Amino acid sequence: MRDCIFCKIVEKEIPATVIYEDDDVLVFMDIGPIIKGHALVISKKHYDPVTETPDEMLAKLHVTAKRIAQAQMNGFGADGVNIMQNNGTAAGQEVPHIHVHVIPRFSDDGHHWNWNAKKYNDFDEMKKLADKLREQL
Ligand code: AMP
Ligand code: ZN
């Protein structure tokens, strides 16, 4: 797709430090790592967002992310791994081409997600939201 930076990486129009590739997916180092060693798993074909991505491709992306996670644990001695996938600018997505972040984590890496857990006003508020979701499935 024109003007998509990740499509340009797939087409080798711009460089990337590739870790793995096959017919469906490409894995390369994120140039702005949350933790050094942070990798991105992308589809070779342009899809976005997750809801428009075929199930088979999503499965492939996540199985590949699992392999990269194992490689980070074996290769870097990572103690844990965050696997993340953002959709939409409201969710912090910067590149609108499906990709899975695989971020190695170390007990002493000092990184903290701003995971600010909120509270529902009451049980009914949560239940109404659950009802809305159930209706859509
Ligand atoms: P997201 O916010 O989920 O869309 O993540 C996009 C990610 O792509 C960010 O972590 C960027 O650091 C990364 N990124 C953007 N351009 C490049 C590039 N040319 N090579 C490698 N990573 C990139
Ligand atoms: Zn693209």
Specify the residue with its C-alpha closest to ligand 1, atom 20. 31
Q: Which domain holds residue 70?
A: 5-136
The answer to whether 120 touches 126, Cβ cutoff 8 Å, is yes
Please, which residues have CB within 8 angstroms of residue 83's CB and are 6 or more apart in sequence?
Answer: 62, 65, 66, 69, 100, 101, 102, 103
Arithmetic mean of pLDDT over the chain: 97
Mean pLDDT within 92-101: 98
pLDDT, tens digit (0-9, with 9 covering 90-100), for 43-81: 999 999 999 999 999 999 999 999 999 999 999 999 999
Please, which residues have CB within 8 angstroms of residue 8's CB and are 6 or more apart in sequence?
Answer: 14
The pLDDT value given to residue 2: 81
Instruction: HSE, CB side, 13 Å, CA atoms: give it for residue 72.
Output: 27
Task: Output the domain CATH number for residue 60.
Answer: 3.30.428.10
Pocket of ligand 1 (CB under 6 A): 5, 16, 30-32, 40, 86, 92-95
Catalytic hit among 46, 97, 99, 101: 99
| Active site (annotated) includes residue 99 | yes
| Distance from Cα 79 to the centre of ligand 1, integer Å | 23
Q: How many domains would you assign to the chain?
A: 1
Q: In what order do the strands lie in the sheet with 39-43?
A: 18-21, 25-29, 39-43, 99-105, 80-84
| Distance from Cα 74 to the centre of ligand 1, integer Å | 24
Q: Is the pLDDT of residue 33 over 90?
A: yes
Q: Is the pLDDT of residue 42 over 90?
A: yes
pLDDT band at 101 (very low <50, low <70, confident <90, very high): very high
pLDDT band at 1 (very low <50, low <70, confident <90, very high): confident
Note the pTM of the prediction, 2 decimals: 0.96
